[in-house]
Amino acid sequence: MESVTIGKSVSELHELLLHKDISSTELTKAYIDRIKSVDPALQAYLTVLEDEALAQAAEVDEKVSQGQALKPLEGIPMALKDNMCTEGIRTSCASKMLENFYPPYNATVTERLRAAGTILLGKLNMDEFAMGSSTENSFFTKTRNPWNLECVPGGSSGGSAVAVAGDEAAFTLGSDTGGSIRQPAAFCGVVGMKPTYGAVSRLGLIAFASSLDQIGPFTKTVRDNALVMNAIAGHDPLDSTSVPIEAPDYTKFLVNDIKGLKIGIPREYFGAGIDPEVAKGIQAGIQTLIDLGAEVAECTLPHTEYAIPAYYLIATAEASSNLARYDGVRYGYRADADDVLGMFKKTRAEGFGQEVKRRIMLGTYALSSGYYDAYYLKAQKVRTLIKQDFDKAFEKFDVLLSPTAPTAAFKFGEKSADPLAMYLSDITTVPINLAGIPAISIPAGLVNGLPIGMQLMGKAFGEGSLYRVAYTFEQNTNYHTLKPNLSREVLTGGSR
C-alpha cells in the first residue's frame, strides 16, 4: 500500500479517499510504515502518535461509511513543528527546557486542522526555540536532508520540510521568523509559504520573536499549499495580532496564466554571497516566466544591507523578553539548587542550548539601559525604512522575485562554528519578516544534486498573487516532481 499512496499530493489523496480507493486508516498506516522505514536515518520526528493517528483515521472512515461528505483535508495525515501547542501531547520546542512540557490547550492552527478532519501523525524536529538555520541546534537530534544525508535540511523548521520531502507526511506546518519556512523548503525541494503577519493565528505558537513569527504550510504542490492555507488562515479573536479580515478561498487564485503580470527583480538579492550556480538557476526560472507572458524588470530595495543587523537586534530583544518566563518556577525544566537565585541560574544555564543563550544575551544587551535607543529603537526605525522600500516597489510591481537562499544546502558543521556566517544565510528572507509581507518558496531546479528555491514576495495579504505565479511556474516546469533517492542503500549508508 505504501508504494501506491506515499508521495502523492494532498489533492490526489483526497480523490482516492473520495472514491473509496483507499481508507484513511490504510493511508495513515502507510505513512506510519514510511516513518518507521526512513526516519531512523532522517530524524524528522520527535514524537510519533501512531495509536492516536489510527484512532482519528478510524473516525474519518466511519463518516465515509455513513455516506457523509469529505472536506478537502479530511483523512489526510500531517504533522506539526514542535513549537505548536497540542493538548496532552509533548511540545518541546526541541529544548531541554521543555523536554517534558505537555500543553493544557491546543494552538488555534491545531484546532483548525482538527476541525478540517486531518490526522496528526506527530511532532517535528526544529532548531531549539526556532533559533537557527540548519536544525543543528535541536537538543534532541540533527535532522538530515533527504537529498544528501551529509547536508542540513535548513531551519528552523527542518523537520517540517524533511517530513514532506521524505514522504513522511502529506503536509506539515512550520513557523517562520526570518526564513524558517522558506529556507528549509528551498533546501529540501518543497513548497513553503510564509503568510502575511496576522493572516494566520499565532495563539499557541511558542514565541521566539512575537512581531516576526508566522505559521505557514509545507506541501508538495502549490495547490496543496492553498488548500492548507484555506484551513488555517482567518481571524482569531483570541490573538490580538490576528487581522480581522475574511480569508479568501486561496484555490481561486490557482490560474495557469500570468500574462501582463509585473514581476520585479530586486538587484540587492543577487549581490555578493549568492552562489553563481543558484543565481543561474533562478535566472532560468525568470526566463520561463517571461516566456509565459510576465513583464519582468529590475528594481531596488536600497535598505536591504541593513536587514540582517536590524533583524538580529529586534529578534533577539523579543526573544530575551519572551524567554524570561523559563525560570524553573512556572513550568518546564527545573535544576536542583540550594536557594532560589541559584535555581534560576542553574535552570537557565542547563535548560537552554548555546544558540539560545547567545541570542538572549544579545537581546538583553540591546534592551539594557543606555543602549535601547542606540540599538533596539534604531533597528525599529530601519525596519520602517525596509517596509517603505517594499511599499514603493509594489507601486510598480505585482510580485517580487529572488533566490530563497544564497546557496543550496550546506554540510553539517560547515557554518555552526561561525554564527555570523549562519546568520548571513538568511539575507534574502529576513527583510520579508521585518516588512510583515507574504512570501513563498517553490522548487526551481537542482545545483550539484541539491534543490534550490525561487522566492516570490507579495504585498500584505497578497498571497493570491503569489499562488497565481507559483502555480503557473509549477504547471510549466517539472521541478516539483523531482524526488530524493531514499533507497535502503542510501538510508543505511548515511553516517549518523
Active site residues: 81, 156, 180
Nearest to 484 by CA among 94, 146, 120, 102: 146
Closest by Cα among 358, 375, 374, 373 to 320: 358
Using a 10 angstrom Cβ sphere, with 0-12 exposed, 13-18 middle and 19 or more buried, the burial of residue 180 is buried
Pick from 102, 105, 106, 130: nearest CA to 118: 106
> In this structure, what are the phi and psi dihedrals at residue 348, rounded to the nearest 5 degrees?
-75, -35
**Residue 189 near residue 484, CB atoms below 8 Å:** yes
DSSP calls for 379-423: HHHHHHHHHHHHHHHTTT-SEEEEESSSSSPPBTTTTTT-HHHHH
Contact 266, 301 (CB under 8 A): yes
Pairing outcome for strands 171-175 and 215-219: antiparallel
Contacts (Cβ under 8 Å, ≥6 apart) of 396:
262, 264, 297, 299
Q: Which residues contact 265 (CB under 8 A, 6 or more apart)?
A: 286, 296, 297, 298, 299, 400, 401, 402
